[in-house]
Structure formats: C-alpha cells, structure tokens
Amino acid sequence: MSISTIGGIMRKEQLGKTYIHEHLYVDLSHIKKDNDAKLDDIEDVVEEINELKKSGISSIVEVTNRGMGRNIEVLTKIWEETGINIIPSAGYYKEPFFPDEVYNLDYREIAKIITDEIQSGIDDTGVKAHVIGEVGTSKENITETELKVLRAAAYAHLETGHPLFTHTTLGTMALEQLNLFQDYKVDISKVLIGHVDLNCDYDYHLRIADRGCYLGFDTIGKLKYEKDEVRIAHIKNLIDRGHIDQIVIAQDMTRKSHLKKNGGIGYNYISETFIPMAISHGITQGQIDHILIENPKRLLDI
C-alpha cells in the first residue's frame, strides 16, 4: 500500500504527523483582484517549512489543483530544500475559479483528466497526484458546473480508489456533498469534508460524522472566521462522542499575509499555539497524535 508524493512513492508508515489541507504555492489573485492571494514567496515558505519540520510535522497534503496555480516545479523545489513529504492533488476547485476547460468538457472528460494525473502523472513532470481535491461548492449552493466537477471527482474516485477532499464555503453544503457522493457509490470512508470548522454547530458536525467521512478542522488560526477555543470545543465534543478516528487538522494557508514575515500566523501555528491551547482545554497529547498521525495514515493509504 502506498502514497504518491512529490518525491515519489512512500509507505503510509513514513507519513508521520500530517497537515491534511495546505497550500505551499497558490494563485487566486486573478479572480480575487488581490495580489495577497498569490502565495508565491518561495524562499519564505521554505524557511517556514524547515521550522515546521523541526516541530515534528513530516507531511503536507498540498491541495492546489488545476486553475489554482498549481506548480509542480515549485513544489519540487520546496521538497528538495526541506525534505518534507508533499502529497499533490488533482481536480478543480469551485466557481469562479474554474479554468475554461471545465466549462467546455463534460464530466467524463474531466474525470479522465483527474484519473490521468493520478495514474500517469501531472502534465509532463512524472509526478503523480494522490488526492482528488480540493473540489468545492459555493456558499449554501452547488452551481451546475460545481455539480459537474463533483460528479467527475466521484467517477475518478471510483476509477482509482484515491481519497476525495472537498471544499465547503464557510462550512455549508457538507451534507449535500455527501448525498451526491453516496448516490455515486463513493467510499465515504475515503472522503474528507473540508472546512467544517467554519460552521461550528455541534449537531451539524455530528450529522456529518455519522455518515462515516472525515471532518476537516483545517482552517485553524483563521480567527476572523472562528475562535480556536470554539474549534477545540467542537473537536473535543466529537472525540467524546466516539468520532476521534474521523478528525483531521490543518491551517489552509493561502495568502502572503498568512506568513510570519508578513505578520501572519505562519505554518507552525498549530504546533506553537493551537496544540498547547487544546491540551489546556482537555484534549490529550495522545489524542492530538492520533489526529495528526493515525487518521491521515488511514485516509491517505491506497
């Protein structure tokens, strides 16, 4: 059983502590009309990832895909200069960030592109994608084109067996995403619903968890959306209700302003700030290690 990375195939036992949903190089600036949304400060990212490794994080799932500025050459450079395991992704994000090809192709053709990137490699790099994602939906809505992409992602999953990671805008439409995937016979135990910590409601989280998928508390440190104390309370509630095996965490860094150099929280925020806070609120180190090590290992292994 194996996991595809920028540096080649690795065993799940080599993953170690894993951030499940990150961007090391991403460009959404052309749509957002904001240069801050172009995270391209490679040397600064390398410096921060080296510090992240010192704190014990060994692997990052890099969910930048087609239309988001994915750059395998840059990811290769970051891997070479840090040694961190980088797990690349295939797919398309959400509206309005789709490239033109999404509108011109049908779902079968989109599914083939995703499948080819997993089975044969991304463009001519020889690097194979491992994750189908992040594929997303709009706030409280799934557009017709997003539905097409989700359907294509489901078909690519059925073809390859690879895990499927989603984006939910402000945590909405998670149950609708799951309904769609179940309709297409997706293995829900290989689905990660992203950004549930942007919609912290105990009942909502339990309804998602009861479906058997993973829940991404993957915008940790983004305090303008939610306090981390609230995230911790909801993680603890899921643990207490028997769902520890379904929780994964990350920060979803996407902007220059997120870097420490620019006054942001930096990639090491989880280790430096969030984990000590979680322990002070009653989550144990053993539970944190389970979330960072065992759950990604089970989700990512093919």
Q: Which residues contact 136 (CB under 8 A, 6 or more apart)?
A: 93, 94, 146, 166, 167, 168, 169, 194
Structure tokens at 82: 């840090």
**Residue 243: count of CB within 10 angstroms of its CB:** 19
Split into its structural domains, the chain has a count of 1
Q: Is the dihedral of CA 120, 124, 127, 133 positive or negative?
A: negative
Query: Residue 35, class by beta-carbon neighbours within 10 Å (0-12 exposed, 13-18 middle, 19+ buried)?
Result: exposed
Q: Which pTM was predicted? A: 0.98
Helices 202-209 + 174-183 axis angle, to 10: 10
Give residue 167's pLDDT: 99
Q: What is the pLDDT of residues 28-83, one digit of tens each?
A: 999 999 999 999 999 999 999 999 999 999 999 999 999 999 999 999 999 999 99
**Burial (CB count <10 Å: 0-12, 13-18, 19+), residue 285:** exposed
pLDDT in tens, 210-247: 999 999 999 999 999 999 999 999 999 999 999 999 99
Q: In terms of residue numbers, what domain contains 184?
A: 3-300
* 218 burial via Cβ count (<10 Å: 0-12, 13-18, 19+): buried
Residue type, 262: N
User: How long, in residues, is the chain?
Assistant: 302
**What percentage of the chain reaches a pLDDT higher than 70?**
100
**Comparing C-alpha atoms, which of 140, 132, 200 is closest to residue 166?**
132
User: What was the pLDDT predicted at 243?
Assistant: 99
Average pLDDT, whole number, for the chain? 98
CATH of the domain at 111: 3.20.20.140
pLDDT in tens, 68-114: 999 999 999 999 999 999 999 999 999 999 999 999 999 999 999 99
Say yes or no to pLDDT of 1 above 80. no
Would you say residue 202 has pLDDT above 90?
yes
9 HSE (CA, 13 A, CB side): 7
- The band of 283, judged by pLDDT with boundaries at 50, 70 and 90, is very high
Q: Is the dihedral of CA 166, 168, 171, 173 positive or negative?
A: negative
Q: Helices 107-119 and 144-160 meet at what angle, rounded to 10?
A: 40
DSSP 127: P
Alpha helices per DSSP H over 107-214? 107-119, 144-160, 174-183, 202-209
